[in-house]
Amino acid sequence: MSKIYFAPMEGITTPTYRKVHKKYYGGIDKYFSPFIVVTSTHQLKKRETREFDPFEENLVPQVLTQRGEDFAWAANMLKGMGYKEVNLNLGCPAATVVTKGKGSGLLRDKDKLRRFFEEVFTESNLPDISIKTRSGFIYHEEAEELAEIFAEFPFKEIIIHPRVREEFYQGSPNLDSFNIIKNKAKCPVIYNGDIFDINRLTECYDAEGKEGIMLGRGLLRNPALAEEKEFDPADKRLPAYLDELYDSYAEVLSGDRDILFKMKELWTYLITGFHDKKEEYKKLLKSTTAADYKAAVRGIIG
């Protein structure tokens, strides 16, 4: 069976969420943190420090930066905390990230990308380094040059979301560009992109995901997907999972409004499994108090 990873999703797959998901659902070999922004000051915001401190077993911290020396600093700092692997974000398509030459913005200038990795790997005693990348910035044909660059460096793994930055999350993943990078890679290559159900998960086991699969939105729709189970609205774990998640957010957030924002965001994915609950879902979205929210949830899941 392929390894299964939980993708980093900003604002969603936080330590609070990961703790609750791990308690109720299995099948995940590694969780990846939402990205930690590192600049030349080497000072992290408290919000970002909370993504990896305290140390968390089977977590891979992900770093977002535009300079190789800053990434190397972060990698060594995280290694000192006990993390054996650190991941570089080469995939974020947000304009605020890309315009600063970070995330998928690093893919635009291939010479700069190569220099970035040269700076990183001149450092000694680094933890294992993996990357999560798109297959290009504007064109899928960029995969050829990216494959050549990636093959020059000793990565632990390469995780590929085979869309270019210009596509964001639209259209279909481009498997040709995925295979171009995979075929030239000198390390395991992990497939990421549009795995929402058991049929697609099984297809990936037999094709592009033999070395590993990363799930993101699919796990938010079906938290048991990594267990190779179809979504079951009657799963007895679901009410307890949602209740504990709400209570856990209440411990770290202040007021119903912030907690409800988190829960409603999760429900935008989860509701896909409840096709006949449109009216109840509308009530959930309109809820402004814990009592209203929990009543709406009972109307959806019983």
Does position 297 have pLDDT exceeding 90, yes or no? Answer: yes
In this predicted structure, what is the pLDDT of residue 199?
A: 94
Task: Tell me how many domains the chain contains.
Answer: 2
DSSP reduced 3-state for 130 = strand
What range defines the domain where residue 67 resides? 4-227
Supply the CATH number for residue 194's domain: 3.20.20.70
Q: Which two tokens stand for residue 276?
A: 């006949």
In a domain, 80, yes or no: yes
pTM (2 decimals)? 0.96
Q: Could you tell me if 35 and 53 lie in one domain?
A: yes
Does position 112 have pLDDT exceeding 80, yes or no? Answer: yes
In this predicted structure, what is the pLDDT of residue 302?
A: 84
Taking CA atoms, 14 is separated from 69, 201, 246, 249, in Å, by: 26, 24, 13, 10
Residue of 2 and 71 predicted with greater confidence: 71
In a domain, 22, yes or no: yes
Please, what is the Cα angle at 94 between 92 and 98, to 5 degrees? 80
pLDDT level of residue 1 (50, 70, 90 thresholds): low
Alpha-carbon dihedral 35, 113, 92, 16, rounded to 10 degrees: -10
Long-range contacts of 297-301 (CB under 8 A, 24+ apart): 297/239, 297/242, 300/271, 300/274, 301/233, 301/238, 301/239, 301/242, 301/274
DSSP reduced 3-state for 105 = helix
Residue partners of 209: CB distance under 8 A and separation at least 6: 2, 190, 191
Q: Could you tell me if 270 and 170 lie in one domain?
A: no
With contact defined as beta carbons under 8 Å apart, do 269 and 217 qualify?
A: yes
Domain endpoint, select from 195, 227, 259:
227
Domain endpoint, select from 227, 246, 280:
227
Rounded mean pLDDT of 139-145?
Answer: 98
Domain endpoint, select from 227, 249, 284:
227
In the chain, what is the greatest distance between 2 CA atoms, to the nearest angstrom? 58
